[in-house]
Structure 1
Amino acid sequence: MAFTSDNVLLFLAVLDHGSFSAAARALGRVPSAVSMAVAHLEAELGLPLFERAGREPRPLPAARALEPQARQLALQLRELDAHALALTQGLEERLTLVIAPELLSARWTVPLAALAAEHPLLDVEVLAAPQADALAMLHTGRAQLALVFERPRLDGREAFQQVGEETLVAVVAPGHALLRQAGQAGGLGEAHLVRTRQVVIAGRDAGVADARVVFGRHVWHTDSPEAACSLLEAGLGWGWLPRSLVQWRLDAGRLAELPLRSLDNHMLLCVDVVWSRERPLGLGARRLVEGMAAMRAG
């Protein structure tokens, strides 16, 4: 193998500095060693790389042709060294973030992009799971971080950082009977919601749902926000859904907000990134939590 990590860096140094002596100073070597190493590389390749007729070596077309791949390899070597150092400092081999599906449209990709720029070789896994399932994944160690709504009760096993807010709105299909009842009654009360089928996004384990958003006696469960929207658009019930998820459907007339009389049709919930106190966070997870918090503060 002609190219090695050492002579790739040396080859690029000669290209960047324009002479063997300048490259030698940059690398902390003597000029004769650099010149001999380049000559050895040319012999191994069977290909001249530099024209030596003048005072300084001039790159030949072959050297320019090899330059892009050499620079890519040098970048990969630097990333590999940085990744190895980060692993010694506590960087995870893999970072798993699980997100409540209602929050997939939140701005979690921005701090994740910053983390990827800082640690480009970090293996990241992003999963979507209903909130109860996402929190269960934390406690089993399947995921290190969960992006979820605030919990009705605090769990001593969990630590968290608030990173945003989300507004839930009660919506229904435009032709649903609830809207006709609202017109007749001058708005809807809790009794109307209780006796009408409700569509709820919940965990897969026995339909575990947030009690704060469950009003109906007859409840259908799904673990998918898109499925919930489809059920509501089909007129099969009403539901509380994030405004970021349904706004375009409201604008298009595919869903309508319920005119509530005795309740506020805007439920503001905090959005938290949560982790287990029983497992220390690695470097990547800490950086991601800091990035999410900084984005909210900014």
Structure 2
Amino acid sequence: MSFSSDNVDVFLAVLDHGSFSAAARALRRVPSAVSMAIAHLEAELDLPLFDRTGREPRPTAAARSLEPQARLMAAQLKLLQVHALALTQGLESRLTLAIAPELLAAPWSASLATLALEHPLLEVEVLAAPQGDALAMLHSGRAQLALVFERPSLDGREAFQEVASDLMVAVMAPDHPALTAAGGSFREAHLTSTRQIVVAGRDLAISDPRFVFSRHVWRTDNALAALSLITAGLGWGWLPRTFARPHVATGALVEIPFDNLTNGLDLWVDVVWSRERPLGLGAQRFVALIARTKNAAEAADAQASSASR
């Protein structure tokens, strides 16, 4: 048999890291073992997989042709291992939920309350972190679940359950000079020239392009800090309407009155978990409970809508 889980891992490691030595470091092996594994694979296939004439091995056309199926095989093997582990998985000793700080008021605590009644000895950890950081904790294994806004694109490593929806609105202080300068005719062009306060993770390379409009951006990883900066008149920002509403009601904030567009972007809120790790019984139960909460809310809304007709 030419391909095995081991030599597929070696083959992909060399492709991903660009050299036998780098692949060996990633796999925690000696370079000679990696080189020998590739040589044996080439001999069994009767195909050259890497051109060794240069300083570093370069993938041949045959290697690139085999790469998609090799990655699929590796993914399937990982899923098989995850499923096998899930068969023996019981209640986790600690359940960690990472929550985007703007969503701390979202409907999640009631599900944890029910879970606590069912498993009173389960240790629960709730961490507030910007969306990018919350997802990074999820993929590193630091957290089992993340409560975040819908992502701009799907990630095959993630599974999710919709929880609710929330309207993101652009807000600023009522005495911000930009509102006065606009003369009651605020347009999207004003956003690009006015400082924006963005809630984002600590990785400067990660920002959700849906929410970065301005050419001048201040960043913070804390929604309360963003709120303070915006109410101080230091810029405008996107906040969930449920989060901003009390501050709009007191006059500390205003939803920006656009002349040519509707102020608001409706986003789903998801609870997300990794497909690469089996969920413990506590995490599974939390997802089921929060899905039940969503379904109950939708049924209540439908009933209220029907009664009003």
Same fold per TM (> 0.5)?
yes
Quote the residue 1:261 is aligned against: 259
Quote the residue 1:80 is aligned against: none
- Deviation for aligned residue 1:89: 6.2
Q: Deviations over 1:256-288 (max 9, x none)?
A: 111112332011110000000000111000000
Quote the residue 2:215 is aligned against: 217
Q: Any unmatched runs of 5+ in structure 1? A: 1-87
The total of aligned residue pairs comes to 210
Matched, 1:149 2:146: no
Q: What is the correspondence of 1:1-298 to structure 2 with a 5 Å cutoff?
A: 90-182=90-182, 184=183, 186-206=184-204, 208-298=206-296
Q: Distance in 2 between matches of 1:173 and 1:89?
A: 51
Quote the residue 1:58 is aligned against: none
- Deviation for aligned residue 1:178: 2.1
The alignment partner of 2:114 has SS state of helix
Q: Distance in 1 between matches of 2:149 and 2:172?
A: 22
Q: What residue identity is the alignment partner of 1:237?
A: G
Q: Distance in 2 between matches of 1:106 and 1:178?
A: 31
The alignment partner of 2:121 has SS state of coil
Q: Distance in 2 between matches of 1:101 and 1:170?
A: 17
Q: Distance in 2 between matches of 1:131 and 1:290?
A: 22
Q: Distance in 2 between matches of 1:253 and 1:208?
A: 32
Q: What residue identity is the alignment partner of 1:212?
A: R
Structure 2 CA distance for partners of 1:207 and 1:260, relative to 1, 3 Å: farther
> TM-score, normalised to structure 1's length?
0.68
Larger Rg: 1
The alignment partner of 1:236 has SS state of coil
Q: Distance in 2 between matches of 1:207 and 1:241?
A: 21
Alpha carbons 1:207, 1:221 under 8 Å: kept: no
Q: Distance in 1 between matches of 2:160 and 2:252?
A: 36
Q: Deviations over 1:50-79 (max 9, x none)?
A: xxxxxxxxxxxxxxxxxxxxxxxxxxxxxx
Q: Distance in 2 between matches of 1:255 and 1:167?
A: 16
- Deviation for aligned residue 1:230: 0.6
Identity of aligned residues (%): 63
Q: Any unmatched runs of 5+ in structure 2? A: 1-87, 297-309
The structure 1 segments of at least 4 consecutive aligned residues displaced by more than 2 Å after TM superposition are none
